[in-house]
Chain A
């Protein structure tokens, strides 16, 4: 089958039993399935033994500074907005060994000694997660200076999306052109049809995805099912309440750089870095030596050491740190990677202990900028 053929056919239906065989098929291809499950009070992306591990009948509730799960009265397997920790930790690993130094015949020697790269199928990715991976690819895989560990993880990862039907109150993916519908960047994409848990419409996005689908028991979708799949996505789109107006944002952030608004944000910000760790695109890393091992570890621009020079930190105040973070996400990222660094997932809002809402901060800055021109 040529590369294009799978796009021209109507997507088939995968029923509950066949969906359960996905694990065996993926294992046959050498993939470990990593998908959503309830862990530590949150829906997280973790290794799954079978479909029984999925968070059936569980939803998430997100508000600024708050994340809770609760049960829902139906059988949806993917009946939540998105996993609390995105795909980032499986691609840009939080801590990974780059090399190791030892002595051989009295002479120091360096070996590139990487942690084993697991071959994983990430299941349940939302459109915002796919967009985040697309952005991370731009950051980490630039020609001639790619991050080797990221490239290897990426190479070994299969992406199985599930269209988002249940955005949280903090989601604004549509404003960022990221969702809620997955339109590409996946190997397979499922849409869970009502009443949940028993039928999935399957789209294929790559030859690999096609190969896997051909090993699963599917049947053609009825006209009604195709209609249903469109309806659930339209409903998700309609339920998005939050927006971020990106027009004029870069200008507003740049021209408001010395506004006293930043001091007001700083009054609430703890500079804890939760926003950067929960963000699916924040990529900043530090390098640490532990004995003979040299590792790459996640870092955050909210720590003073991040910008530290021998005379002190370039950005010492909380105001300057928050300003750097949001300006990078919503303005200077564009200069660097020809895309913004935000996918509208709202994680930074939910996981901020002070509930600082970047859409509101951005709006306030745009307000300042417009005030200037009046």
Chain B
């Protein structure tokens, strides 16, 4: 039996060829690509499938300022063949792009809530667009707690230094392995939560980092009295198609590429507790 289905003209499985506008090295193993976007709409927390020509595509969060609608900004850590191939790209090179995909962070502009952002390592990357928006809300407080391995792994340090001078922004940095010049905190991000001025009734918390860090952070926030509905986490899974077709990113009934990567904690908390789900 035939089916009656209209196909869109552009198959979302076929990438667009886009031009790299700039390459910038952030740390020893992290770099940022600015890629012309053609003005496609996106939401903070969403991701693109990005691939160097001749290499597989990988899911990468968008890290730029939403005010810049002409480019995708992607900050990428070199951990495998695909990300290393992307690290060779320079201005004028071509890159394969599909997206944006997924559900992002709640819209902070529409919310009349203070914001608490807790992130670890490259987990800061998908939170940057939201932080840009939050920095422009003078009447509402934003606190960023950000943990890195060592001082030289701290991403976007100039931007963070600028934000820390804003009256509405508090930036608290911590590292696992400090050097002699380090004058911020040492240890896990969770240790900074009790000493951060948070009003649990007016705060929305956004968390992104390794899963174990997100679990412990969420627990700490619950202890502070924040409702599980006001906590959001961004899940990392093996996204490949971005449309819930290929099955790789499944977390029980969730296609993380489709219903995530950002989830309200109360929806995902139980699943996060089960090893190897």
Shortest distance between the CB of B3 and any CB in chain A (Å): 5
Task: Give the contacting residue for B80; candidates A109, A310, A336; CB below 8 A.
Answer: A310
Verify A146–B241 contact, CB threshold 8 A: no
Shortest distance between the CB of A59 and any CB in chain B (Å): 28
Verify B8–A144 contact, CB threshold 8 A: yes
Q: Within the assembled complex, what's the spacing in Å between the Cα atoms of A258 and B11? A: 40
Stretch of B151-159, B213-221, B250-258 at the chain-chain interface: B250-258
Verify A108–B94 contact, CB threshold 8 A: yes
Binary CB contact string for chain B from 250 to 277 against chain A (1 if under 8 A, 0 otherwise): 1011010000000000000000001111
Q: Contacts of A86 on B, CB cut-off 8 Å? A: none
Verify B53–A108 contact, CB threshold 8 A: yes
Q: Tell yes or no: B67 within 8 A of A by CB.
A: no
Shortest distance between the CB of A40 and any CB in chain B (Å): 28
Verify A145–B238 contact, CB threshold 8 A: no
Residues of B within 8 A of A (CB): 1-3, 5, 7-8, 11-17, 53-57, 79-80, 94, 96, 210, 236-238, 240-241, 243-248, 250, 252-253, 255, 274-277
Verify B1–A186 contact, CB threshold 8 A: yes
Task: Give the contacting residue for B238; candidates A139, A141, A186, A306; CB below 8 A.
Answer: A306
Verify B246–A299 contact, CB threshold 8 A: yes
Q: Tell yes or no: A28 within 8 A of B by CB.
A: no
Mind listing 20 A-B residue pairs with CB under 8 Å? A98-B13, A112-B11, A112-B14, A137-B3, A139-B245, A145-B12, A151-B7, A206-B1, A283-B247, A284-B246, A285-B241, A285-B246, A286-B246, A287-B57, A289-B56, A307-B248, A311-B210, A316-B276, A332-B252, A335-B253
With A151-B3, A154-B2 known as contacts, the answer to whether A336 contacts B13 (CB < 8 A) is no
Nearest residue in B to A291 (C-beta to C-beta)? B54
Shortest distance between the CB of B252 and any CB in chain A (Å): 5
Verify A320–B276 contact, CB threshold 8 A: yes
Q: Give 5 closest A-B pairs by Cβ, nearest first.
A: A335-B253, A284-B247, A320-B276, A332-B253, A145-B243
Nearest residue in B to A185 (C-beta to C-beta)? B1
Q: Contacts of B277 on A, CB cut-off 8 Å? A: 257, 314-315, 320, 324
Task: Give the contacting residue for A141; candidates B5, B16, B250; CB below 8 A.
Answer: B5
Binary CB contact string for chain A from 324 to 344 against chain B (1 if under 8 A, 0 otherwise): 100110011011100000000
Which residues of A282-316 are within 8 A (CB) of B?
283-287, 289, 296, 299, 301, 306-311, 314-316
Q: Tell yes or no: A272 within 8 A of B by CB.
A: no
Shortest distance between the CB of B197 and any CB in chain A (Å): 34
Q: Within the assembled complex, what's the spacing in Å between the Cα atoms of A108 and B18? A: 10
Verify A336–B255 contact, CB threshold 8 A: yes
With A306-B238, A307-B248, A315-B276 known as contacts, the answer to whether A146 contacts B79 (CB < 8 A) is no
Which of B1, B8, B247, B253 has the most A CB atoms < 10 Å from its CB? Answer: B1
Nearest residue in B to A139 (C-beta to C-beta)? B245
Q: Within the assembled complex, what's the spacing in Å between the Cα atoms of A320 and B237? A: 15
Q: Within the assembled complex, what's the spacing in Å between the Cα atoms of A151 and B246? A: 15
Verify B54–A289 contact, CB threshold 8 A: yes
Shortest distance between the CB of A159 and any CB in chain B (Å): 5
Shortest distance between the CB of A211 and any CB in chain B (Å): 12
Q: Contacts of A283 on B, CB cut-off 8 Å? A: 245, 247
Shortest distance between the CB of B19 and any CB in chain A (Å): 10
Verify A309–B3 contact, CB threshold 8 A: no
Q: Contacts of A315 on B, CB cut-off 8 Å? A: 276-277
Binary CB contact string for chain A from 241 to 273 against chain B (1 if under 8 A, 0 otherwise): 000000000000010011000000000000000
Verify A145–B245 contact, CB threshold 8 A: yes
Q: Tell yes or no: A101 within 8 A of B by CB.
A: yes
Binary CB contact string for chain A from 137 to 178 against chain B (1 if under 8 A, 0 otherwise): 101111011111001001101110000000000000000000
Q: Within the assembled complex, what's the spacing in Å between the Cα atoms of A286 and B56? A: 11
Q: Within the assembled complex, what's the spacing in Å between the Cα atoms of A356 and B176? A: 47
Verify B246–A328 contact, CB threshold 8 A: no
Q: Tell yes or no: A205 within 8 A of B by CB.
A: yes
Q: Within the assembled complex, what's the spacing in Å between the Cα atoms of A332 and B255? A: 11
Shortest distance between the CB of A117 and any CB in chain B (Å): 13
Q: Within the assembled complex, what's the spacing in Å between the Cα atoms of A77 and B57? A: 48
Q: Contacts of A299 on B, CB cut-off 8 Å? A: 246-248
Verify A317–B7 contact, CB threshold 8 A: no
Verify B248–A306 contact, CB threshold 8 A: yes
Verify B79–A208 contact, CB threshold 8 A: no
Q: Contacts of B244 on A, CB cut-off 8 Å? A: 142, 145, 336
Verify B1–A285 contact, CB threshold 8 A: no
Q: Within the assembled complex, what's the spacing in Å between the Cα atoms of A160 and B120? A: 57
Q: Contacts of B237 on A, CB cut-off 8 Å? A: 307, 309, 314
Q: Tell yes or no: A25 within 8 A of B by CB.
A: no
Verify A148–B13 contact, CB threshold 8 A: yes
Nearest residue in A to B82 (C-beta to C-beta)? A310
Verify B2–A208 contact, CB threshold 8 A: yes
Q: Contacts of B53 on A, CB cut-off 8 Å? A: 101, 108
Shortest distance between the CB of B54 and any CB in chain A (Å): 7
Q: Within the assembled complex, what's the spacing in Å between the Cα atoms of A307 and B276? A: 10
Q: Contacts of A307 on B, CB cut-off 8 Å? A: 237-238, 248
Q: Contacts of B80 on A, CB cut-off 8 Å? A: 310
Q: Within the assembled complex, what's the spacing in Å between the Cα atoms of A258 and B271? A: 12
Nearest residue in B to A282 (C-beta to C-beta)? B247
Which of A254, A301, A310, A315 has the most B CB atoms < 10 Å from its CB? Answer: A310
With A285-B246, A309-B238, A336-B255 known as contacts, the answer to whether A258 contacts B274 (CB < 8 A) is yes
Q: Tell yes or no: A203 within 8 A of B by CB.
A: no
Q: Contacts of B274 on A, CB cut-off 8 Å? A: 257-258
